[in-house]
Structure 1
Amino acid sequence: MDRKNAWNTYTQEQLAELDSINEKYKSCLNAGKTERECVELAVSMAEKAGYRDLKDVMAVGECLKTGDKVYSVCMNKMIALFRIGEEPVSAGMNILGAHIDSPRIDVKQNPLYENEGLAYLDTHYYGGIKKYQWVAQPLSLHGVIVKKDGTTVKVSVGEDENDPVFVITDLLIHLAQEQMEKKASKVIEGEKLDLLIGNRPVEEVIEELTSSDTLTADIEDKKSEKAQAKEAIKANVLRILKEKYDIDEEDFLSAELEIVPAGKARDCGFDRSMILSYGQDDRVCAFTSLFAMLDITEAKKTGCCLLVDKEEIGSVGATGMHSKFFENTVAELIALSEGESELKVRRALMNSRMLSSDVSAAYDPMYAEAFEKRSSAFFGSGITFNKFTGSRGKSGSNDANAEYIAALRKAMDDDNVAYQFAELGRVDLGGGGTIAYIMANYGMEVIDSGVAVLNMHAPYEVTSKADVYEAVKGYRTFLRM
């Protein structure tokens, strides 16, 4: 079947909308480099669009009615937004579900150490990465440090042009003969992905004070004390952290710090037709789903945008799709709109339809041997539907029903949404998973649908602006079905 290039179909008005959506999308990528930042951003955007916290609605016992807009947050890393439709919630919802976690490197709980005049943070990588891609490039540090008194300190270092950045070092080519003989999976070991964060001993900082006319006995005492420290560089890092964030070394025990590429999302190509950025798996689907959700003003069915954590490591934990958060939140919606009923909760979930909004692998002619061309997604051909994912013999996949696909085809064609169908690479080569099979356990109709990506899981991924635009259009259409 022919794959039309969507760029050839746009009017000047549509191109203007395409540019507007992609500029907003790039801003969201810059502001949301972690799941916590994504949730904070989503809440801000939702409240500006008239959404209210479900907890506030529950607190006053208010009944939900058609047109009401609410959201619910789980542990600051998962969010569900709902717009109540004309039909009862128990008649089913149209759900856009995406994940907002991305492959990265996490800081361990006892991370700070000094080794031969250099200070490091010990790390543990998160999700499927090619470890060698993360060395010798500028990195930033994002997250929170929660102190024993409950105070939460937000951390974001490396994004502002005046910030320092960090790096994971690699072995120079002149000494890398043995390293170059290793398999790609072993070129960089996981335990060598430690972040370089300092080199200046604390006594050097104190030494500068000796030239000051305001030198005091107290400073002299501190200078003597620091000069005797065995780990003076680590001590200097701790001094900086204390001054900037008022934290001590033990506060790392209750910290969530993520190491991600430093820098902003950028236009890619002379024609500016693409976007290069960290975290587009799966934030390209998360933000386009959110945009569509906030755009919808009326619909027969209750619409939902569900943004979850932990997909990259199996959707586990309290903020992953395997948790009961979504089910519990739907139960609260039913209670506030139709009265408490476990049966109606089950009906609402079973009667729902979902687009598991997740990325697909774009065909890369540089690595054509990894793809089956007739079943691949191509840049500029629109939103991608994956009937199934999984690996090899469809292991671990949801396999969407033909009737559901036919209904989606009609809706997309009626709204002139460009779309394509694809698989993730050659049959016997590998594969991947999404949250689709988890939601399908409720008996709802589910299919994977998202944007094709080059460099998936690399520090910098590439998407087509046309596909981002068509994703927003497609998600709007789905919410109105």
Structure 2
Amino acid sequence: MSDVRAVDHIDPIELDNFNQDLFAFLDASPTPYHVVKNQIALLESYGFEGLCEADAWQLEKGKRYYVTRNGSSLIAFVYGHDELLNSGVRMLGAHTDSPCLKVKPNAEIVAQSYLKLGVEVYGGVLLNPWFDRDLSLAGKIVYRDDKQVMKSLLINFDKPIATIPSLAIHLDREANKNRSINAQTDIPPVLMVLAQSDSSTANKKSSKDLLDNILMEQIKRQYDDLKIAQILDFELSFFDYQKAAYVGLNDDFIASSRLDNLLSCFAGTYALMRADTQGSSLLVCSDHEEVGSASTSGAQGTFLKSVLERLAGSAESLTRMVDQSMMISADNAHAIHPNFSDKHDANHGPLINQGPVIKVNANQRYASNCETGAVFKVLAESADVPTQSFVVRTDMGCGSTIGPIAATEIGVKTLDVGVPTFAMHSIRELCGNKDTWYLYSVLQHFFDFSKRIEIQ
């Protein structure tokens, strides 16, 4: 149910330009490593300077910076002119990872003269929609060059190279009633038909040889004269090659992979690029949210706290600065499904294109409280953006976000919000064409230090 009536004041050209940029970002970001790479390109185009965690930082008031960890998490910030102890930091949190299928270290499987790759399920994947899709492969490779120096690179096949064929209904007459999916045996993607000689050889060789050769060929296509002596290791993920697009008779919807949560990463990046330099604003996009955030580059790690400590300068200053700060955790919300409306609380079923959702949970699965929720409503009102509320049915379990982790680890006042979405964790998700702009508009106002957000 909307808390504020939806308004149709958006310039259609401005909206389409924003969404087309979002489409390009989604299509170019199949893995967290690519997400961060593309965020850096956007940030540098607006004058953000790269920092290294290993270096001593010499920050200047009014300048813009970014720093990465593991190449899959990013923190970017505007180091404002206002004193941090007075204005605090306005923070936005999102995550760079999405549920997917990750290639195992010894992945090759040769069966009936077909080459398949064994995969692990990463996060809470909705597996059924992965069948019969055009899949591509991307990720990070660590290698030794011709001078025996260890380096890394990103790879993206950028074309359909695999599929997971369904079993025909003729061979499983009960498929529409009770077919289950075995993640070990049913979902290894099929890459190619092997010649009989290749198939026999593959059974005798190390299980990495064929895949290493495939990866070497792709590296040559992407990097021309790069000299590689040996591939040492990799993190590779399959992804849906179908591009992001408008869907619906009136283009009401946006369909894409990884809307959860690259939509928030993109909107946050765009908002931060346009943030003023009066106060300090920060965007943190963490990896591994879909598997609990417990990693060096996840929200439960030290990345955000260490950056804030360096901004504050001392433990006491950090405590005082955080007390003046606020974080918005932006992660997608469940829109009420017209075919399954009974899965929602009748008074808390968010509608698509009716604005961002304030997510509330009494058991602290979301970090929102009445104060942070009120601040967001005021910001949305000033941006002419409608807002909605989501509470899970009391008889159902509730997911979570990085919001409660940030609130716990940092002690910062936090709010959980998100864009209403259908088919969350599917290979192809659906959101509203206006909600993308609504979220971005509120985040812009959040980073505008002329807007007061204090509660007296």
Give me the TM-score of the superposition, normalised by structure 1: 0.84
Q: Which has the higher helix share?
A: 1
Q: Distance in 2 between matches of 1:244 and 1:312?
A: 29
> Does structure 2 conserve the Cα–Cα contact (< 8 Å) formed by 1:362 and 1:377?
yes
What are the superposed Cα offsets for residues 26-45 of structure 1, whole Å, 9 maximum, x if unpaired? 11101112110010011111
Tell which deviates more after alignment, 193-202 or 360-369: 193-202
Q: In the alignment, does 2:238 pair up with 1:259? A: yes
> Does structure 1 conserve the Cα–Cα contact (< 8 Å) formed by 2:293 and 2:300?
yes
Select the residue among 421, 427, 430 that pairs with 1:453: 421
Give 5+ residue unaligned stretches, structure 2.
Answer: 221-226, 452-456
Q: In the alignment, does 2:402 pair up with 1:438? A: no
Closer, same or farther: CA 274–178 of 1 in aligned 2, 3 Å: closer
The match for 1:344 is 317
Closer, same or farther: CA 232–385 of 1 in aligned 2, 3 Å: same
> Does structure 1 conserve the Cα–Cα contact (< 8 Å) formed by 2:355 and 2:387?
yes
The match for 2:353 is 380
Give 5+ residue unaligned stretches, structure 1.
Answer: 205-225, 335-339, 389-393
- Where does 1:300-339 land on structure 2 (aligned, <5 Å)? 301-334=279-312
Closer, same or farther: CA 50–165 of 1 in aligned 2, 3 Å: same
For residue 347 of structure 2, give the secondary structure of its aligned residue in structure 1. Answer: helix
Q: Distance in 1 between matches of 2:196 and 2:5?
A: 59
> Does structure 1 conserve the Cα–Cα contact (< 8 Å) formed by 2:143 and 2:152?
yes
How many angstroms does 1:445 deviate by? 1.1
How many angstroms does 1:295 deviate by? 1.4
How many angstroms does 1:250 deviate by? 8.2
Q: Distance in 2 between matches of 1:238 and 1:414?
A: 55
> Does structure 1 conserve the Cα–Cα contact (< 8 Å) formed by 2:335 and 2:422?
yes
1:401 is aligned with what amino acid? N
The match for 1:426 is 393
Closer, same or farther: CA 139–233 of 1 in aligned 2, 3 Å: farther
Q: In the alignment, does 2:74 pair up with 1:43? A: no
For residue 150 of structure 2, give the secondary structure of its aligned residue in structure 1. Answer: coil
How many angstroms does 1:268 deviate by? 0.7
How many angstroms does 1:470 deviate by? 0.5
Q: Distance in 2 between matches of 1:404 and 1:192?
A: 45
The match for 1:361 is 334
> Does structure 2 conserve the Cα–Cα contact (< 8 Å) formed by 1:359 and 1:453?
yes
Q: In the alignment, does 2:219 pair up with 1:245? A: yes
What are the superposed Cα offsets for residues 370-418 of structure 1, whole Å, 9 maximum, x if unpaired? 0123112111111111133xxxxx4452443323322332232123222
The match for 1:337 is none
Select the residue among 51, 68, 73 that pairs with 1:78: 73
What are the superposed Cα offsets for residues 417-437 of structure 1, whole Å, 9 maximum, x if unpaired? 2222222x4221232100111
> Does structure 2 conserve the Cα–Cα contact (< 8 Å) formed by 1:168 and 1:195?
yes
What's the % identity of the aligned pairs? 23
Closer, same or farther: CA 142–116 of 1 in aligned 2, 3 Å: same
2:307 is aligned with what amino acid? T
Q: In the alignment, does 2:151 pair up with 1:177? A: no
> Does structure 2 conserve the Cα–Cα contact (< 8 Å) formed by 1:39 and 1:76?
yes
What are the superposed Cα offsets for residues 99-156 of structure 1, whole Å, 9 maximum, x if unpaired? 1100100001111131221111111010112222212211110102212442324321
How many angstroms does 1:464 deviate by? 0.6
Number of positions where the alignment pairs a residue of Structure 1 with one of Structure 2: 436
Q: In the alignment, does 2:19 pair up with 1:22? A: yes
How many angstroms does 1:248 deviate by? 9.9
The match for 2:139 is 143
Give me the TM-score of the superposition, normalised by structure 2: 0.88
How many angstroms does 1:197 deviate by? 1.3
The match for 2:9 is 10
How many angstroms does 1:189 deviate by? 3.3
How many angstroms does 1:195 deviate by? 1.5
Q: Distance in 1 between matches of 2:219 and 2:93?
A: 35
Closer, same or farther: CA 238–98 of 1 in aligned 2, 3 Å: closer
> Does structure 2 conserve the Cα–Cα contact (< 8 Å) formed by 1:78 and 1:319?
yes
How many angstroms does 1:233 deviate by? 13
For residue 365 of structure 1, give the secondary structure of its aligned residue in structure 2. Answer: coil
How many angstroms does 1:351 deviate by? 2.8
> Does structure 2 conserve the Cα–Cα contact (< 8 Å) formed by 1:165 and 1:262?
no
Closer, same or farther: CA 155–10 of 1 in aligned 2, 3 Å: same
Select the residue among 52, 63, 68 that pairs with 2:49: 52
> Does structure 2 conserve the Cα–Cα contact (< 8 Å) formed by 1:168 and 1:194?
yes
Closer, same or farther: CA 413–165 of 1 in aligned 2, 3 Å: same
Q: Distance in 2 between matches of 1:264 and 1:198?
A: 23
Q: Distance in 2 between matches of 1:249 and 1:129?
A: 36
The match for 1:403 is 371
How many angstroms does 1:57 deviate by? 11
How many angstroms does 1:73 deviate by? 0.5
Closer, same or farther: CA 34–87 of 1 in aligned 2, 3 Å: same
Q: In the alignment, does 2:258 pair up with 1:279? A: yes
How many angstroms does 1:181 deviate by? 5.5
How many angstroms does 1:229 deviate by? 6.5
How many angstroms does 1:48 deviate by? 0.9
The match for 1:154 is 154
